[in-house]
Amino acid sequence: MNKVYDLIILGAGPAGITASVYAARKKLAFLVITVDVGGQAALSGDIENYTGYQFITGPDLALKFQEHMDSFGIEVTMPEGAREIVKLGQLIKTVTDKAEYLSKSLIIATGKHPRQLNVEGEKEYKNKGVTYCATCDGPLFRGKKVVIIGGGNSALDATLQMMNISPEVHIVNIASQLTGDPVMIEKVKSSPAVKIWNNSEVEKIYGDTFVQGLQIKQHDKIFNLDVEGVFIEIGLIPNAEFASCLEQNKWGEIMVDCYNKTSVEGIFAAGDVTNVPEKQIIIACGEGSKACLTAFKYLSTHRFLEK
């Protein structure tokens, strides 16, 4: 832990990768610490709203991001997850599950992870029919009946992927109507393979060795859906549990201002882990660039004592 970096970037999703490219161009001595490369972008399906690409898949866009990062020879340690951050005078100590690091500044771009239903059978059948990623696991359910839990863009994205390969796709939505992008809703509703269950919630998931179905409640009536795949798409939780020293909102998102500054000097945050409105890939990229530019200005305007 003797080396002191100018900057450490936690996470290598759209925000973290963009921050790293800017840091490389600013010739900073920095390190990227991450559990993976691509983040939620790598788990997305078809992307039609990222400027410069009329159409690209999430994995392909994540690969483009990584190629851009690799072109600068950026130092990345992976897989490695943050466990704690501590402000030590002018420096910041980052504790991971493998080591400890010191830096003059820090950008947190750790994104989010899928929210769980917490119903009977969910844990028992995880990876046995229950999944949280249609992009990753969807092809495994080709020709099988499936259900998508949720009503926002994540659920709609999963539905659009599955309705092309599954004979029957159910959407179980706790709200009174779907709440995602209107274009996506229109595509989903136009498919004869899709049945939408609004005002419904999951009671339990059942099966034998693998999922055989789930029980839902709609208007006090119980229904059993015979499916072999359950895709849970009910939102994401910020990966910010290690950042308890920073101000967070009621959803656990790190609070930042328009310059990506957190409540602790020298620590910045960007992307889905923050309170920035709208969780979009292109927004995360912009936030990552802003965070790095602000960090660079911070480093340029502060005098650090030699250790």
Q: Within its chain, how far is the Cα of 23 from the centroid?
A: 22
Cα–Cα distance, 245 to 228 (Å, whole number): 43
Nearest to 116 by CA among 202, 14, 217: 202
Catalytic site includes residue 137: yes
Q: Which of 4, 3, 30, 34 is nearest to 291 (CA)?
A: 30
DSSP state of 274: B
3-state secondary structure at position 172: strand
Q: Which of 36, 60, 137, 181 is catalytic?
A: 137
Helix, strand, or coil (residue 248): strand
Which helix (H) or strand (E) segment holds residue 299: the answer is helix 281-300
Residue 258 annotated in active site: no
Catalytic one among 133, 157, 272, 285?
A: 133
Beta strand pairing call for 169-172 and 194-197: parallel
Of 46, 70, 97, 136, which residue is the catalytic one? Answer: 136
Judged on CB neighbours under 10 Å (0-12, 13-18, 19+), 264 is middle
Length of the chain: 307
Give CA–CA dist 178/20, Å, rounded. 36
DSSP β-ladder status, 130-131 and 229-232: parallel
Active-site amino acid positions: 133, 136-137
